[in-house]
Structure 1
Amino acid sequence: MESSPAVKPGTPISLQDLRSSELFKHGASIRVTGSLQSYSVETARAVIADGASSLVVNTRHLSGITFRVGCLYQFIGELLLCPNADTNLLARVGRNVDGMDLHLYHQSLLVLRQFEVERAGPT
């Protein structure tokens, strides 16, 4: 029996920090949260934003989600960096997270990063 490659967990990152992060590379497994700016049923493309940062999300593998502009969504998937095309996330998980306090969520991401740095110790 041949084993399939393990699915990597989506590393949480804010949309504002994504492009300057070491996670900004083709195939990186990430978790992002943002307000839905637009959604096309025909192309299965959603655009989420957080502040001035946005990301195109390919939702073709998702089912059972009702997309509503202005609502808050969280996606886990792989980052696709393609020349001459939008950077986008190929989502494998998506959920509506209306009611999440984004300011508190961003603070928790900062605390998580600090913990990871402290745990790694001197290199």
Structure 2
Amino acid sequence: MELEPGTPVFLEELEARPLHFIVRTVRVTGTLHSYSPMTDRAELVDGHSLLLVDTKLLGVHQYHIGQTYQLIGLIAASAQEDHKELPKDLEEDVRYSLDIILQARVVREVDGLDSAVYRKAVVLMRTFLGDKVETATSNPM
């Protein structure tokens, strides 16, 4: 079984068209908002978008709330038990989809990453390779 490297996708793109990404391997970057070792669930936030993450495949890892992580994994349809109430501090600030969950298989800490430069690099890479990710927004920057 060959593992795919994961297409770089921004959280707002996942939030805008969640069903479009199901069964696709993606690479996402965001700040860890919460993590529950009991349920192997995490919440990743980037700007005003949130993504639920299943961390079962990652094994033992020390997560730090507020740090920036990059994850590679498969987007899957979320089960009913994945649906939960959004924390009060995020209720009005973020957009999210309860239709999908990232089944992460690779995680790395990228705290020193300049997110503005990273976004520009991804957009330039897409342009150069002719790889377009359709989004609801006209400008992903």
The TM-score range, normalised by the shorter chain, is 0.7 to 0.9
> Post-superposition shift, 1:14?
1.2
* Structure 1 residues 20 and 112, CA gap change in structure 2 (3 angstroms): farther
Q: How many residue pairs end up in the alignment?
A: 114
Which one has more relative contact order, counting CA pairs under 8 Å at least 6 apart?
Answer: 2
User: SS in structure 2 opposite 1:65?
Assistant: coil
> Post-superposition shift, 1:29?
0.2
TM-score (norm 1): 0.82
2:47 maps to which residue? 51
Matched, 1:95 2:108: yes
State the structure with more CA Rg.
1
Paired-residue identity, %: 37
What are structure 2's unaligned runs of at least 5 residues? Answer: 84-97, 132-141
TM-score (norm 2): 0.73
CA RMSD, aligned part only? 2.1
What are structure 1's unaligned runs of at least 5 residues? Answer: 119-123
* Structure 1 residues 114 and 21, CA gap change in structure 2 (3 angstroms): farther
> Where does structure 1 differ by over 6 angstroms across 4 or more consecutive aligned residues?
none
CA distance in structure 1 between the partners assigned to 2:32 and 2:79 by the alignment: 25
Matched, 1:13 2:9: yes
